[in-house]
Every structure is written in structure tokens, then in C-alpha cells.
Amino acid sequence: MPNTATMTKPAPAAPAVAPLHPNLRIPNVITIASGKGGVGKTWVAVTLVHTLAKKGYKSLLFDGDLGLANVDIQLGLLPKHDLGSVLAGTVSMADAVARYTDGGFDILAGKSGSGALALLSGDRLNMVRDGLAALARRYDRVVVDLGAGIETHVRTLAATAGIVLVVATDEPTSLTDAYAFIKVTAMQHPGTDIRIVINQADNAREGRRTYETLRKACEQFLSISPPLAGVIRTDSKVKDSIRAQVPLLIRYPTCNAAADVEAIASSLLVR
Ligand SMILES: Nc1ncnc2c1ncn2[C@@H]1O[C@H](COP(=O)(O)OP(=O)(O)OP(=O)(O)O)[C@@H](O)[C@H]1O
Ligand SMILES: [Mg+2]
């Protein structure tokens, strides 16, 4: 159960950050957020973009986690450029994009240890956002892996997306943190299309129960009811493929977790 201490009614005070103008949203961008770390955001981002590419969509995976970027680690890549070099001004964002041939999609790698997103100046954050908007015009879909946490910058970047997927597991801290993320995002960026992914569920039924717990808290305290994008079952093949640094869809394309992500991808394409 989420910690109800953090689920009090939102205070009616004006948000600290101005709401995002809907026109600033980039419709074909899907951001992956969570609140709590380690729930599977990076793996979901990699597998989702891979699924979209396999479906024939021209897709980009954008690693927006500057603190612990690890898209390249999960895929066993050694990127020449990354978002860190873009922010340092040594390369343009477009030139930092690399082709991941095996997956059929493009990647803009992050930069581990280059300082968390939260530490960027407002100008730098705008630079990332504008660069993302410009890049997104070249693709059918862009999937952004965000860092954990609910800091303003993470939320600002999350809310520029057409769809924000909030990943949670059934762990109470994960649910509480997902709720906190949804709460501040919905307050400061009203109208954001937030959807929930329950990851590492024992089975579909348990996953839907976990979702209901979160949804009810959102309905009761925030008067919103974010839909379920999907449930992803715990699958030992996920760990196996991450350990081998080979994408799940190459190593085990028909396993349970792959099927669950495929179902989520299909639901996102309907919009
Ligand atoms: N469906 C799943 N089945 C089994 N294991 C999973 C599943 N999803 C994620 N995991 C495990 O969770 C671990 C953490 O995943 P991942 O690195 O993608 O999380 P994260 O949310 O990006 O973490 P961080 O907040 O540190 O960036 C993986 O290494 C994997 O072992
Ligand atoms: Mg991650």
C-alpha cells in the first residue's frame, strides 16, 4: 500500500513552475518515468523502442538520465558521443545520434556521472528540450528514458511528451514514489497524458490489482484516473538478457516480458 502520509489532498497553492503550454508538447515523444529507481525504466525504454522499430516505426531511444545513464550498458554499446558531449558543446545533438543496427533504431546515449538532470541550469534544460523537439521531427516515435526522482527538471522533461509512462512495481515505496511523481506532474502540468505500467508483476491479475491501488489513490486525492498502459510480468529472461548485454527481443523474442511490452506498444500506437 502506498504511504497515505504522502497522499493528502493537494494544496490549492499556485505551482512553483508555470504550466507547460500544450503546444510545447512533442506528440510523438514517450517518456519513461518512475519516482523510485531500479523499477525497470531503462529496460522498458529499450524494449519498447525495439518493439516499435520491429513494427516498422522509425524510432529513437533518447537516454535522458544524466546521473546513471545506462541504455548503452544494457545494450553493450560504446557510444562515440553522448548527451554529455552535447551539453559540453562539443557536438550537436543530431551528430550525437548513433545507429543501433541490430535493433533497427537510433540512440542518443546518456552520460553517466555527468551530473544529474536536476543540476542542469534552466538554459541547459531548455537546450535539451529544444534539441529533443528538433530531433523528434525526424522520427515516428522517440522514447526517452528519464532518471529516477521527481525533481522539477525530470518532470519538466517528462511533461513535454505526448505520453508519459510511469513505471511502478508492487513494492510500497515504488507505489508511493509513483504517486508522488503523478501528483506533482498533474498539478504543475495539467493535461499531461500520464499512463501507468506495472512492471515485475507475478501475473497479469496481480499487476492489475497493483494498478488499482495506485489508480484509486490518484482518483481519491487528485481527482484523476491515469489509465493502465499495461502489466509486465517478472521474467527471468529479462535479467539474463541484461546480464548478456543483448536486447531481450533478440535473445528471447517470444518470452512473456517481450509479449507484455508488445501489448503496451500496440496500445500506445492507438493513442
Ligand atoms: N519484467 C522484469 N522481469 C525481471 N526482472 C526485471 C524486469 N524488469 C526489470 N527487471 C530487473 O530490474 C533491474 C533494474 O532495471 P533498470 O535498470 O531498467 O531499472 P531503472 O528503473 O532504469 O533503474 P534506475 O532508476 O537505476 O535507472 C534490471 O537489471 C532487471 O534485473
Ligand atoms: Mg535506468
Q: 205 C-alpha vs ligand 2 centroid, how far in Å?
A: 26
Quick: pLDDT tens for 127-150. 888 899 999 999 999 999 988 777
Ligand nearest to the CA of 242: 1
pLDDT band at residue 117, thresholds of 50, 70 and 90? low
Pocket test for ligand 1, best of 31, 32, 36, 39 (most atoms within 8 A of CB): 39
Residue 53 is predicted with a pLDDT of 98
pLDDT band at residue 73, thresholds of 50, 70 and 90? confident
Residue 261 is predicted with a pLDDT of 98
Spatial strand order in the sheet of 59-64: 98-100, 105-108, 59-64, 141-146, 26-33, 161-168, 194-201, 228-233
Helix, strand, or coil (residue 109): coil
Q: Whose CA is nearest to atom 19 of ligand 1?
A: 40
Q: Which helix (H) or strand (E) holds 142?
A: strand 141-146
Q: 42 C-alpha vs ligand 2 centroid, how far in Å?
A: 4
Assess whether the C-beta atom of 37 lies below 6 angstroms from ligand 1: yes
What percent of the chain clears pLDDT 70, i.e. is strictly above it?
88
HEC assignment per residue over 117-141 = HHHCCHHHHHHHHHHHHHHHCCCCE
Pocket test for ligand 1, best of 200, 206, 238 (most atoms within 8 A of CB): 238
How confident is the model over 228-254, as a mean pLDDT? 96
198 grid coordinates:
506495472
Give how far Cα 222 sits from Cα of 69, 145, 147, 148, Å: 32, 25, 24, 22
CB 55 within 8 A of CB 166: no
Residue 68 is predicted with a pLDDT of 72
How confident is the model over 95-102, as a mean pLDDT? 94
Dihedral in degrees, nearest 10, Cα atoms 48, 109, 160, 224: 40
Q: 154 C-alpha vs ligand 2 centroid, how far in Å?
A: 13
Highest-confidence segment of 34-43, 48-57, 87-96? 48-57
The rounded radius of gyration (Å) of the Cα atoms in the chain is 17
Residue 70 is predicted with a pLDDT of 81
**Number of Cβ atoms within 10 Å of the Cβ of 79:** 21
Q: 145 C-alpha vs ligand 1 centroid, how far in Å?
A: 12
With a cut of 70, say whether residue 262 has pLDDT above it: yes
Domains of the chain with CATH codes: 32-270 (3.40.50.300)
Assess whether the C-beta atom of 174 lies below 6 angstroms from ligand 1: no
- Which of the two residues, 268 and 22, has the higher pLDDT score? 268
Dihedral in degrees, nearest 10, Cα atoms 6, 34, 157, 268: -120
Query: What is the value of pTM for the model shown?
Result: 0.91
